[in-house]
Amino acid sequence: MPRSRRAHGARRGGRGARSSAKAESPASDDETASEVLSHYSSASESTSVAEEGTGSEAVDEQAQQEAEEDKLKECIDHVSDKSTKTRQAALESLRLAFSSKTLYDFLLERRLTLTDSLEKCLKKGKGDEQSLAASVLTLLCLQMGSGPEGEEVFRSLKPLLIGILTDSSASPVARQSCATALGVCCYVAAADVEVTPRPGGGVSPARVSAASPGAAFLPQRKDLASCLACLEGIFGTSCLEEGSSVPAHHSPLLQTLHCCALQSWSLLLTICPSSQIRQILDNHLPKLPLLLSSEDVNLRIVAGETVALLFELAHELEEEFFYADTDLLCAKLKALATDSNKYRAKTDRRKQRSIFRDVLRFIENGECHAESIKFGLECMYVDSWVRRRVYHAFKELLGSGVRHHLQNNELLREIFALGPPLALDAVALKASKISRFEKHLYNSAAFKARTKARSRVRDKRADVL
């Protein structure tokens, strides 16, 4: 945390003044990210527990909510403004607001207006504006959920997303956002076409339509198949060129695009029916390991994670699944898990080794690294490659707001089988939180104790038993 400068008249404060200023300096990125987010701070965090429940606070909360809604209405209006800068600023504000709050009731009656404005931005905008519009569209689908409203938003703009994604003359940044939007929106809007439980509860019964199979699932099948084919056509060009023994060479921007397309494609694999998974295994399991030799570290990592995901889905269909080239694949994974080439960046080597150790361990022994995610008073375990792919997709989309959505967004709670949102009063939430000053004191005490313990061990005069 940066040190605050002392004022000329504050010399008498000494060390206490510096420590108090340091403790009171803001630490959250969400509080300074945008002017819009400043309107979203909860009233319960700025008032004492004794003041909660009073009539004046209820009035303040209502006034604050009205101010938030007015700000959002203004941003939605500005998305149709003639000025490009105004439209981009409004889209950025909506992106930050949608990722930090659940706004289903507010957006329900305004989704058509916002969808029309986003359509114009995607059609007439360029580069950054198209990228922001695709991101806002993705968050809008997430806010609406997997019901008719979310499907309507996705299907109305799906042709535009595919058109921009497959247009080689379009901006690479816009194509990257459209690849992500196509995968996430299809995942949200396309209900499961078969009741196929995923490892670790990746798909919950609430997301499976109660209608009879057959024609009821036909639109979802078409959406899923068309999106998979579109995304495959993008990242497939990174595979081996015909008659060559090395992967196709692409510019860094195109490699990032292929990485986004592969991530979205692997996300959609988690909702594919078992009959389609068998076909995908036959067609892609021999091809995807070729991407492990890509020049781009992120594409290599995503390819390795996708291979592990395919193996997990294969073992789900057939416990004794056998892949003929497992030994060759494990040799490649082991080389990447122990890569120490100096021409790669140190951070890239560290990240690559960590991921490929997990992939290799799963391919060889079937062990999946478990990760615990804490949010509020709850904790969720990501203990399969399916859950890992789904969680990381929403984490990249929502950023620091993912924990708020895990607590309050019904769609995410259904996807991860967390049940309905917990009904906690403000007093319980306040009691469960630790103030920044208390965290600072705890960290300082722990640091001092750790330093003393290490100093005693490092002291040459200490008795070694």
Q: Could you please report the per-residue DSSP string of 10-75?
A: GGGGHHHHHHHHHHHS---GGGTS-TTGGGG--GGGSS-GGGTT-HHHHHHHHHHHHHHHHHHHHH
Task: Give me the mean pLDDT over the 57-84 stretch.
Answer: 86
Mean pLDDT (the chain) is: 79
* Residue 258: per-residue pLDDT: 93
Work out the burial of residue 294: count CB atoms within 10 Å of its CB; fewer than 13 is exposed, 13-18 middle, 19 or more buried.
buried
Shortest CA distance to 136 belongs to which of 78, 191, 181, 171? 181
- Residue 49: the pLDDT is 41
User: How many Å apart are CA 459 and CA 123, to the nearest integer?
Assistant: 69
Six token digits for residue 154: 């996705």
Helix (H) or strand (E) holding 378: strand 378-382
**Range of weakest confidence among 1-15, 239-253, 362-376:** 1-15
Residue 95 pLDDT more than 60? Answer: yes
Quickly state the pLDDT bin for 434 (edges 50, 70, 90). low
Output the pTM of the full model.
0.76
Answer for the pair 368, 384: CB distance below 8 angstroms, yes or no: yes
C-alpha pair distances (Å), 2 with each of 18, 23, 201, 336:
11, 10, 42, 38
What pLDDT, on a 0 to 100 scale, did the predictor assign at position 240?
Answer: 55
CB 130 within 8 A of CB 142: no
Q: At what angle do helices 346-365 and 297-317 cross, to 10 degrees?
A: 10
pLDDT tens per residue, range 44-53: 344 444 444 4
Of the candidate ranges 128-137, 169-178, 230-239, 328-337, the one whose mean pLDDT is the lowest = 230-239
CA 200 remoteness from chain centre: 18
Q: Phi and psi dihedrals of 370, rounded to 5? A: -95, 140
452 exposure class (CB count in 10 Å sphere: 0-12, 13-18, 19+) = exposed
At residue 240, φ and ψ (nearest 5 deg) are -60, 140
Task: Judge whether residue 165 has pLDDT over 90.
Answer: yes
Give residue 432's pLDDT. 56
Q: What is the pLDDT, as a whole number, of residue 251?
A: 80
